């Protein structure tokens, strides 16, 4: 005798992942660009549309309104000259489950530099396409900000 038991399958929570990168060439040497980024790091981060809510040493609380709702999350900043990073530590509100960025400044010549910016994110209940669209929007805003201040 065979007993067949059918168990309902629950679908796993949809978790979208995204990865976007841009490269900007600027007309300043690496040292000048690094000094400017270190001086203006809060403005660079806020140029993505996120707002700094609070800062506690190297941990920052950000708030960002997206098409899918308000995200409030903690990010830890770290890095060294020419290699700046931010890493997600926790979500206070919203579906963001992982996020990170990396900004690398490399010399092209004595008077020019390249800024390479990478962002990655994972968000629950959101498609990968939607996550990539939001990352692309943030990078576009950051590119506009950096271009306005560093390209000329």
CATH number (domain holding residue 80): 3.30.530.20
In 3-148, the DSSP E strands lie at 15-26, 51-56, 59-66, 69-80, 83-93, 96-107, 113-124
Q: What is the mean pLDDT of the chain?
A: 88
The band of 152, judged by pLDDT with boundaries at 50, 70 and 90, is low
Domain membership of residue 83 (yes or no) is yes
Domain membership of residue 4 (yes or no) is no
Mean pLDDT (whole number) for 135-143: 95
Does position 2 have pLDDT exceeding 70, yes or no?
no
Domain membership of residue 9 (yes or no) is no
Percentage above 90 pLDDT, the chain: 78
| CB contact set of 17 (below 8 Å; sequence gap of 6+) | 120, 121, 122, 123, 128, 131
Range of the domain at 134: 16-150
Q: Which of 41-45, 64-68, 118-122 has the lowest mean pLDDT?
A: 64-68
pTM score: 0.86
Mean pLDDT (whole number) for 70-78: 92
Domain membership of residue 130 (yes or no) is yes
What is the tally of structural domains in the chain?
Answer: 1
Q: How many CB atoms lie within 10 A of CB 95?
A: 19
Domain membership of residue 3 (yes or no) is no
The band of 12, judged by pLDDT with boundaries at 50, 70 and 90, is low
The band of 57, judged by pLDDT with boundaries at 50, 70 and 90, is confident
């Amino acid at each position: 005798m065979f007993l067949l038991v059918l168990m309902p399958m629950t679908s796993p929570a949809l978790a979208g992942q995204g990865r976007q990168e841009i490269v900007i060439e600027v007309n300043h040497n690496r040292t000048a660009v690094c000094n400017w980024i270190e001086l203006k790091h809060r403005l660079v981060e806020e140029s993505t549309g996120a707002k700094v809510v609070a800062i506690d040493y190297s941990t920052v609380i950000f708030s960002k309104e997206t098409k899918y709702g308000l995200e409030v999350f903690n990010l830890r900043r770290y890095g060294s000259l020419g290699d700046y990073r931010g890493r997600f530590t926790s979500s206070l509100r919203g579906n963001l489950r992982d996020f990170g960025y990396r900004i690398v400044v490399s010399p092209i010549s004595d008077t020019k530099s390249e800024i390479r910016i990478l962002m990655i994110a994972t968000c629950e209940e959101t498609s990968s396409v939607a996550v990539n669209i939001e990352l692309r929007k943030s990078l576009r805003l950051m590119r506009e900000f950096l271009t306005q201040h560093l390209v000329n």
